[in-house]
Each structure stands twice: as structure tokens, then as C-alpha cells.
């Protein structure tokens, strides 16, 4: 800790957080100013390039997606032909698909409780075939996993969505019980 120079660190933070960088949003002049600053400092420290061959940076594709609220609709159909329309932001809140210009789907629903699949420990998919179906699961986890790191991993929405996709589901609905999405 004796070698940590807090003044230098504060100066770097002040420079990178400065309003002149205009928020540093990717693809903007402010972002490029931040990149140029970091590259200059790495060179001054004698760090070797660790990006694309011979470079301090690397090219990557950033995707952006947004939900078009006016066209976001959800309906539930039962086996008798009855239809229930869901209210946007009150009953459902869709996530935009970053690789599709338009996303829509339909399918039979299959409820898998919390959607946890911890190999060798616990699975809510045991005996459930979700291939081609839309998986419905609750946010969070039950008290079935032994350690908090397992709870964090297997209870995360991202892990649950990946698990559903790996098991052949064509969609997923995540339910946050007792909450409303209204402002």
C-alpha cells in the first residue's frame, strides 16, 4: 500500500470524469478523448500494447436496442379461446433483443418455479421438457442452495435465461411477484 499514489489516482479519475468528456458514451468524441488519455498514460507508464496486434485498443461491436413502447403488446390465450390482454409496464415489461430489429413470439407456457438448474445440487427442470415452449419462472431462488455464491449465480436472471435456452425453450417470462412496473 505504500506504493499507491492516491493523488495520481485522483487526478486520473478527475480527468476521466471531467465534463469535457461529455459522458464518454461509446462512439462519441468524449469517449475518444477518454481512450486517447488512457492510451497516453499507458504508454507513459511503459505498459506494452495488449489490445489488437500492436495496439492499446481493440475493435468490438457495440449493440444497442430499445423497446418500442407503443407496439409492445402481450396476450394470454387459454385452451377455451379466451384472451386476456396485459397492460404494458403494469403487467409486463419486455426486454429488447439486441440482435433483432423486431421481436415477437408465441407458445405454450411451462412454469418452472424459480427456474434454477444447479447440476448435481438441485434442478427445477427435472422431468420437465421445455423444448419449443415459453418458460415462466419467478425472480430469485428458493432456500435450496447451500452457499451465497451459488445463490448469486444460479439465481441471476441471466443464468436462468441461458439455462432455459440451453434446454430448448424458445422464450422466457420472468415474474417479479408483488411488484408493479408503473411509475
Model confidence, pTM: 0.61
The pLDDT value given to residue 112: 95
Count other Cβ atoms within 10 Å, centred on residue 1.
3
- The CATH number of residue 80's host domain is 3.50.30
Give the rounded distance of the alpha carbon of 85 from its chain centre: 27
Task: Identify the bridge partners of residue 138 per DSSP, sorted by sequence position.
Answer: 175
Question: Which ranges in the chain belong to alpha helices (H)?
Answer: 6-16, 29-45, 148-154, 157-166
Domain of 136 in residue numbering reads as: 69-175
39 and 58 housed in the same domain: yes
| Cα–Cα distance for residue pair 49/43, rounded to 1 Å | 8
Cell of 149: 455464491
51 and 96 share one domain: no
**Angstrom distance (rounded) from CA 34 to CA 149:** 34
Say what the pLDDT of residue 37 is: 97
Q: Quote the number of domains for the chain.
A: 2
Confidence at residue 56, expressed as pLDDT on a 0 to 100 scale: 96
Longest dimension (CA), the chain: 73
Q: Is residue 183 part of a domain?
A: no
- Look at residue 8 and tell me if it is in a domain: yes
Are 127 and 94 in the same domain? yes
Distance, CA of 156 to CA of 71 (rounded, Å) = 28
Residue 121 lies in a domain: yes
Q: What are the Cα distances from residue 169, in Å, to 102, 135, 160, 162?
A: 19, 6, 11, 10
- Reading the chain (183 residues) residue by residue, the pLDDT tens digits are 678 889 999 999 999 999 999 988 888 999 999 999 999 999 999 999 999 999 999 998 887 778 887 788 888 888 899 999 988 888 888 877 777 778 788 889 999 999 999 888 889 999 999 999 999 999 888 877 666 777 888 888 889 999 999 999 998 888 887 654 454
Q: Are 150 and 118 in contact (CB under 8 A)?
A: yes
80 plus 29 within the same structural domain: no
For the purposes of burial, counting CB atoms within 10 Å of the CB of 39, is it exposed (0-12), middle (13-18) or buried (19 or more)? middle
Paired strand residues for 111 = 136
- Sign of the torsion formed by the C-alpha atoms of 65, 71, 72 and 76: negative
Q: Are residues 123 and 34 in the same domain?
A: no
Query: What are the grid coordinates assigned to 168, written together?
Result: 430448448
Please report the pLDDT score of residue 146 as a whole number: 67
For residue 74, the cross-strand partners are 86
Amino acid at each position: 500500500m505504500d506504493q499507491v499514489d492516491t493523488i495520481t489516482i485522483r487526478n486520473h479519475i478527475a480527468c476521466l470524469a471531467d465534463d469535457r468528456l461529455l459522458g464518454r458514451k461509446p462512439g462519441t468524441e468524449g469517449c475518444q478523448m477518454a481512450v486517447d488519455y488512457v492510451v497516453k498514460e499507458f504508454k507513459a507508464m511503459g505498459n506494452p500494447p495488449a489490445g489488437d496486434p500492436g495496439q492499446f485498443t481493440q475493435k468490438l461491436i457495440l449493440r444497442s436496442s430499445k423497446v418500442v413502447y407503443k407496439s409492445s403488446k402481450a396476450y394470454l390465450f387459454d385452451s377455451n379461446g379466451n384472451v386476456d390482454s396485459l397492460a404494458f409496464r403494469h403487467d409486463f415489461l419486455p426486454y429488447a433483443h439486441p440482435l433483432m430489429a423486431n421481436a415477437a413470439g408465441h407458445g405454450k407456457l411451462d412454469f418452472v418455479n424459480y427456474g434454477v438448474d444447479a447440476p448435481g445440487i438441485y434442478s427445477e427442470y427435472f422431468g420437465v421438457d421445455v423444448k419449443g415452449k415459453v418458460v415462466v419462472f419467478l425472480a430469485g431462488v428458493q432456500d435450496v442452495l447451500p452457499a451465497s455464491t451459488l445463490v448469486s449465480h444460479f439465481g441471476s436472471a441471466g443464468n436462468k435465461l441461458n439455462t432455459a435456452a440451453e434446454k430448448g425453450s424458445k422464450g422466457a417470462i420472468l415474474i417479479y411477484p408483488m411488484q408493479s412496473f408503473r411509475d
